[in-house]
A = this chain, B = another copy of it.
Amino acid sequence: MTHDRIRSLDTTHRGSVATDDPCYVVGVDIGGTNLRLALADGNGAIEARWACSTAGLRDAEVVVQLIKQGVEHLLAQHPAANQSLRAIAAGAPGITDVEAGIVIATSYLMGWRDVPLRAMLEEAFDIPAVVDNDVNLAALGESWAGAAKDAGDFVFLAIGTGIGAGIMLNGQLFRGASWAAGEIGYMLISGVPDVSAKRGEPGALESMSGGEGIRAQWQNHFRPESNAPADDLTATQIFDRALDGDPPAQALLQQTAVALSRAIYNIALVLNCPLFVLGGSVGMHPALIDATRAALATLNMRTPPRLLHSVLGVDAQLIGAIRLALLTAAVSGRPPIL
């Protein structure tokens, strides 16, 4: 796939027009805990969904086999798509070379290194395939059909187990010279440990504002000593407690929000970016966005960015994958749909 073809995948066409020739695509979201698929028509409308667990799964071949099972299931549900499947796009939880179609590295959870996922998918399905980083796809989804429609420049912040950013500049995904733009979990902001983390371990910012980091902070610094050791809350459970007025949980929420606001501030200084969209299971928590907005307001910014929740929620990556698949179908020489 040429560089020009990749660039053309990011064109700013916002709509899509189905021709008489039917067109379907599959979007795939490969997560650390779940694999989710959707079949969509040429307008991006989802016709059918399929999902399964990926907990403990590390083998890319097995993941592709699961995707194959899922696609067969989707086509069985929607036989009209059988002869009209034009492209498949998959988001992977790691740094992904979109041009080469290779997942360079995922986090310790899956442990992928240099997996030629695009070739594996093209072999499995004999249709054009494309792969990208999942947070990039979430940004693409929000830009196409979510909180960032018509936003030329914005940053999608995915806060789940860790924290990562998808960056859209001038209406195009900005992926960086070696496909690692937005890997902000390691950011060295004031108030976090000033030693950079080893690769594969939670980074400095992540250790304060990512789901696993928040959980560890609770265990090690915030949980009342009188509580049982088994009081192992998740980040969202801790934030629920904060909303209920629990002081230690509120203190940890505040620490998380201050760290996140400083990361947003630093990114906004570099990019002068007017919009940040918070997504991911932790990022979607209502307590976090309110506390982060309040923390941002205490910083002196010439043009403070807006902070919005993801509109697509857990579907952001999947819808971004559908969008990328539609763009891929449009440039693949099959009947154009855009």
Contact = CB atoms under 8 A, between A and B. Distances in A.
Given A188-B262, A266-B187, A197 B300 contact: yes
Contacts of A169: 169, 174
Contacts of A182: 269-270, 272
A176 B152 CA distance: 10
Interface residues of A, number: 47
A186 B272 contact: no
A204 B196 CA distance: 20
State the oligomeric state as a number of copies.
Answer: 2
A267 B181 CA distance: 10
Interface in A203-255: 204
Given A190-B192, A192-B190, A194-B190, A184 B270 contact: yes
Contact of A270 (B175, B177, B271): B271
5 contacts: A95-B302, A152-B177, A176-B273, A190-B192, A190-B204
Interface of A: 95, 105, 152-153, 165, 167, 169, 174-184, 186-194, 196-199, 204, 262, 265-267, 269-274, 298-300, 302-303
Given A180-B303, A187-B269, A196-B299, 6 more contacts: A178-B272, A182-B270, A188-B265, A190-B192, A190-B194, A266-B270
